[in-house]
Amino acid sequence: MTFEKLVVGLAGMPGAGKSVVVNVARAGGYGVVVMGDEVREEAKRRGLEPTPENLGRIMLELRRLEGEAVIAKRCVPKILAARENKVIVDGIRSLAEVEEFRQNFQKFTLVAVHAPPETRFRRLFHRQRSDDPKSWDVFHERDMRELSVGLGNAIALADYMIVNEEGLEAAKRKAAEILRRIEAEWMK
């Protein structure tokens, strides 16, 4: 059995600009489910600080114990509980997760956001959220950790690719256009 909500899965390397797409979607009436929140909530339950190391470790442990699609499985009820009938799921990391969403939602579309590594590093370096990298080595290590769970495969097989390298306004326009195309596609 599959559910009728329109679900957009979003994949991208750190700093590629996923949050731009999420904000455009939210403004367009989408509910937002953040896959990373599952891991952050798990860290909180265990009384651990949400450092990149702790979050990375918890993610790998959950996957080992409950399978590669564990985070996606935990997000399905959240998507169903959303008031909105369009939901964007931020932070897809593997084809196993994509598969899980496709099994649950007939109207599932995978969107990837891309920016060159140097651009992503510059953005994250200037953003400096608690888990943002202070050096190229730390940045590269995080990239490799993300790829090790299969993020590159999800990006390579995306239904839509947003290239985010021409500034915020261009990215917003592309995101809005792609969401329109996805909605039109499912309306046919």
**Looking at beta carbons only, is 82 or 176 nearer to a copy of itself?**
176
Distance of closest approach, residue 77 Cβ to a copy of itself, in angstroms: 28
Cβ distance 15 to 114 under 8 Å?
no
Cα angle 60-115-132, degrees, rounded to a multiple of 5: 50
Under the binding rule (CB under 8 A), the answer on residue 59 touching a copy of itself is no
Residue 173 sits in the site that holds a copy of itself (CB under 8 A): no
Q: Does 108 bind a copy of itself (CB under 8 A)?
A: no
Helix ranges, the chain (H): 18-27, 35-45, 52-66, 70-81, 95-104, 117-127, 136-148, 151-156, 168-187
Query: Contacting a copy of itself (CB under 8 A), which of 82, 161, 170, 176?
Result: 161
Q: If binding is defined by CB under 8 A, does position 183 make contact with a copy of itself?
A: no
The answer to whether residues 6 and 21 touch, using CB atoms and an 8 Å cutoff, is no
Q: Residue 153, interface with a copy of itself (CB under 8 A)?
A: yes
138 binds a copy of itself (CB under 8 A): no
Note whether 80 binds a copy of itself by CB under 8 A: no
Q: In degrees to the nearest 10, what's the CA dihedral of 100, 35, 25, 30? A: 70
Question: According to the binding rule CB under 8 A, does residue 114 interact with a copy of itself?
Answer: yes
